[in-house]
Amino acid sequence: MTTNRTDKATFAAGCFWGVEVAFRKTPGVIATRVGYIGGHTENPTYKQVCTDATGHAEAVEVEFDPARVTYEDLLMVFWRSHDPTTLNRQGPDVGTQYRSAIFFHTPEQEAAARESVKALEAERVFRRPIVTEIVPAGPFYEAEDYHQQYLEKRGLASCHI
């Protein structure tokens, strides 16, 4: 008997366009969608989130097959996709909406994320301390359709960062 179980992971690593591509290319990832999480405004729009007043982060929700890719593997994609040592900024993008954050869905994801940070810090992978938030996932609001697979729709392989 085969079970088609999938799990969900949610990551914020700056502008969601390029981060989505990194996860979409990962074998075992079933689907991605970009959106907003971690704020206090219900059903925010991109325009609202860009004001830095809603508290939301631009994020990627990843649906994955845990038999093909582990959560720890996804964490490595996350760490390679951005600079987790810059507070509320990625490259030229500045504001809390561009913060580095892991939104965990289970206690196991939280433990894996915290262990991952400890390992990276111990190995001194980054020159500065990691400032990534590790917080429970709350409501995820899907971004407007034109943001979904934004770079693919434009024939681009990556973002400016």
Give the whole-angstrom CA distance, residue 129 versus residue 86. Answer: 9
Is residue 2 assigned to a domain?
Answer: no
Whether 84 maps to a domain, the answer reads: yes
Beta bridge partners of 93: 90
Q: What are the pLDDT tens digits along the chain (161 aa)?
A: 455 799 999 999 988 878 898 999 999 999 999 999 999 999 999 999 999 999 999 999 999 999 999 999 999 999 999 999 999 998 888 999 999 999 999 999 999 999 999 999 999 999 999 999 999 999 999 987 666 765 566 565 555 54
- Report CA torsion sign: 155, 83, 123, 116: negative
Does residue 50 carry a catalytic annotation?
no
Tell me, yes or no, whether 160 lies in a domain: no
| Full domain range(s) for residue 39 | 7-151
**pLDDT at 144 (0 to 100):** 73
Q: Is residue 43 part of a domain?
A: yes
Number of Cβ atoms within 10 Å of the Cβ of 155:
6
Coil, strand, or helix at residue 102? strand
Q: What is residue 161's predicted lDDT score, i.e. its pLDDT?
A: 46
Catalytic residue among 9, 13, 15, 60: 15
CATH number of the domain encompassing residue 144: 3.30.1060.10
In a domain, 161, yes or no: no
What is the per-residue pLDDT for 15? 82
User: In whole angstroms, what is the distance from residue 124 CA to residue 118 CA?
Assistant: 10
Our count of domains for the chain comes to 1
